[in-house]
A and B are shown apart, each in its own frame.
Chain A
């Protein structure tokens, strides 16, 4: 595998590749296995669907003729949200790394003084990323091709191939965007983050453009629209998916050209975001305070990206609140009936465990922010923080400097945990809670004060819990990649157990053990009560921090 930059890039990622592939198989298989459950309760639901006004169905992306068919199921479960989320997260990581990992790792000066052009190095890295991404999408393809006859789904082979080609083209597009941004900046994190934000916003725009008049212009210009245009699950992939690939190629070419003219090792940055404070004067005293403790340092060192997190989350929250009136006015009773009759297994994956409440303000906002994309984003932040808190410093070698100072290991871990709490709290409070406090009365959202506290406090605690798990895994293994993997798998499992446990009898007992249940309760996070749930989340997080303390104290650092 060391014959070329291409081979070396694959070799470097071999472990993560196995993890992603197993995850892809598990997810797709899980969904296929549940198909018969859905089909058995379908007839009644379909009748109801057909009575609904077509405009509303369009808005929800529902075709009554196919919705309760295997096609509708697979589309809703795998290809509307979960599949794109996974594929895009993987793709933006790969794209950012292709352009800037060597610089990040400090190996760029060796590679780019070899007799290979910069363009050739980059193109080989992009090609390796494209192969790795294809492997993930191929797991969905293979599982569906195998499951289709086994479970009598009756999908067309051309459709199964087509939808996966489309999903791949969506991933390639956002991966290339991350690549271009990272090639321009020399920062892989900036590339992945920027592409992630664009993906999130375009997903929302695509969803809302069909419902909300003043967003109508956005209907046909989002990558998410192009991804499913032409109905690839029925007709196979077509020109729009090709168009996405074409855009991706343009982005890769642009990134490569920009990289040619860049100074290697000299990073560019996005403009700094500053909140109401002038340069100089005040910042000196505040940063000296921030540098006074390990925990505040951990926040301080992320100050630039945190500002972007807050601004992005606030924009996201505001957008959702601003479309709420349109969604509410559209639906009325019929919408409510529909939601109630919605095959509950479908909703489970989205974390909607109480369909009746899904149309109320709290339920609707939860289904976008507290139980869906918004939560995913904050979880990514928290797990990333936790995984790097100890293992990341170990990898960078800075842990030796800190631990040989007058800092006890236990104190070091606890400080990192406090930093995690502070980071998550700041993002949730400023990015979600603050816009909600302003916006909720304006749009008459109907969230109670208790729900507001329970939802946002619960979100902080849930993310801190999984962040603490990553922290503990990092403290025991010293490897940020493994820590991220463990916490991510645990979070996905907790989420699925909570969702499916609401409807599947044999999973019901397990549901009560899922942190997602403690967080969201029987309805949704913003309708949750204050009670034993929040202390329980905090207690488990605290327990995990203790595990982390013990882990770091027992281990040889740097081995």
Chain B
């Protein structure tokens, strides 16, 4: 069975402006691949090129073993897609929209649509124009999953969902993987990708700078944490701990700000001796979280 996605030197320019440059990437069957990058890094351009919405300036892509441009219709029959910027026919209800798209796919997805809507707590009988953006996102999820496609290509799919619904959505992604289906999802949120993906590709400034397993990523990613103690603790105590890159006193006195690479285990072991009141983990911005990866690449 050919890989789910193969990109070879895939390049897309808008005039002089680069979208994605020279992307080489392989996504295997049955994995969840996270495509991570800041806003404007090239995630959506890549996805839209894979889907034949954009024509590559150079290079090519094969989806499920077929040419992304020449065999676009055959590919589209076997994939599900959530666009990055979800707008839909405002005059239709969610149910009508799903029925319309099912009709265009030439299949009956009625029961699956009901099941998915129930799972996401979505009322299918209201006009899409009257939905909140979260509910609109749920409709987008339902239409992408309803025909149980072999490959799901999802552009920032959890946008607008509340935390409970995000959990439900991640569960759906994992179930799809467990059934042997493939998921390619883009995100700019590291914890989200950590939670669901098997492997992660990181894109910055139109180039793929790293492909890592999630374990490898966790080992390399830097995070900022603040530990608040019941009394003053010398930051120097942590300076020598495994993985700690920086240690400073907090502004409010009773805490320590740390920059840690990889596991927090060593830090926690030391901290537990001092009466920890609170641990605050800052997600930090993506640039920072991936400094390690980028540095590897640049070197």
By a beta-carbon cutoff of 8 Å, the part of chain A in contact with chain B is 2-5, 8, 12, 105-110, 112-117, 261-266
Contacts and interface: CB of A to CB of B under 8 A. Distances in A.
B288 to A, nearest CB: 30
A110 B143 CA distance: 9
Contacts of B108: none
A448 to B, nearest CB: 52
B83 A110 contact: yes
B248 interface: no
B87 A264 contact: no
Nearest to B14: A266
B79 interface: yes
Nearest to A124: B104
B43 to A, nearest CB: 14
B51 interface: yes
Nearest to B75: A115
Interface stretch (B94-102, B177-185, B211-219): B94-102
A264 B55 CA distance: 9
Contact of B87 (A8, A105, A261): A105
Nearest to A395: B90
A108 B105 CA distance: 16
Contacts of B81: 109-110, 113
A114 B104 contact: yes
Contacts of B245: none
A4 B104 contact: yes
A112 B103 CA distance: 14
- For the complex of A and B, the 3 pairs showing the least CB-CB separation, nearest first, are A106-B87, A115-B77, A2-B100
Given A5-B104, A114-B76, A107 B54 contact: no
A8 to B, nearest CB: 6
Contacts, number: 73
A8 B100 contact: yes
Contacts of A107: 87-89
Given A2-B100, A4-B103, A115-B74, A265 B53 contact: yes
B93 to A, nearest CB: 11
Given A2-B96, A115-B105, A116-B73, A266 B87 contact: no
Contacts of A265: 48, 53-54
Kindly state the interface size class of chain B when it binds its partner: 20 to 34
A31 to B, nearest CB: 34
A2 B79 contact: no
Given A115-B106, A263-B14, A264-B48, 8 more contacts: A2-B100, A109-B81, A109-B85, A110-B88, A113-B51, A113-B76, A114-B104, A261-B55
B54 A263 contact: yes
Contacts of A2: 92, 96, 99-100, 103
A115 B81 CA distance: 12
B237 to A, nearest CB: 49
B91 interface: yes
A112 B101 CA distance: 11
B19 to A, nearest CB: 10
A4 B88 CA distance: 16
A4 B99 CA distance: 10
A5 B85 CA distance: 22
Contact of A116 (B92, B104, B140): B104
B100 A109 contact: no
Contact of B101 (A12, A110, A261, A263): A110
Contact of A264 (B54, B74, B96, B106): B54
A112 B79 CA distance: 12
A10 to B, nearest CB: 13
B55 A263 contact: yes
B53 A109 contact: yes
A394 to B, nearest CB: 11
23 contacts: A2-B103, A8-B100, A12-B89, A107-B87, A107-B88, A109-B48, A109-B51, A109-B85, A110-B83, A110-B88, A110-B101, A110-B143, A112-B52, A114-B101, A114-B104, A114-B105, A115-B76, A115-B106, A116-B73, A117-B72, A263-B14, A264-B53, A265-B54
A265 B105 CA distance: 22
Nearest to A116: B104
Contacts of A108: 53
A3 B108 CA distance: 12
Contacts of A105: 87, 89
A123 to B, nearest CB: 14
Contacts of B99: 2
Given A2-B103, A266-B14, A113 B88 contact: no
A256 B214 CA distance: 44
Contacts of A261: 55
Contacts of B105: 114-115
A196 to B, nearest CB: 26
A117 B103 CA distance: 15
Greatest chain B CB density within 10 A among A5, A117, A266 is at A266
Contacts of A117: 72-73
Interface string B9-32: 000001000000000000000000
Interface in B30-84: 48, 51-55, 72-74, 76-77, 79, 81, 83
A3 B89 CA distance: 15
A489 B241 CA distance: 79
A266 B103 contact: no
Contacts of A110: 81, 83, 88, 101, 140, 143
B89 A106 contact: no
Nearest to A112: B53
A113 B85 contact: no
Nearest to B96: A2
Contacts of A116: 73, 76, 104
Given A115-B73, A116-B73, A263-B55, A109 B104 contact: no
B155 to A, nearest CB: 9
Contact of A3 (B14, B51, B88, B103): B103
Contacts of B88: 107, 110
Nearest to A113: B81
A263 B14 CA distance: 9
B101 A266 contact: no
A12 B97 CA distance: 12
A14 to B, nearest CB: 9
Contacts of A109: 48, 51, 53, 81, 83, 85
Nearest to A111: B104
B173 to A, nearest CB: 19
Contacts of B104: 4-5, 114-116
A316 B87 CA distance: 40
Nearest to B47: A109
A220 B81 CA distance: 51
A172 to B, nearest CB: 26
Contacts of A263: 14, 53-55
Contacts of A12: 89, 91
A110 B52 CA distance: 12
Contacts of B100: 2, 8
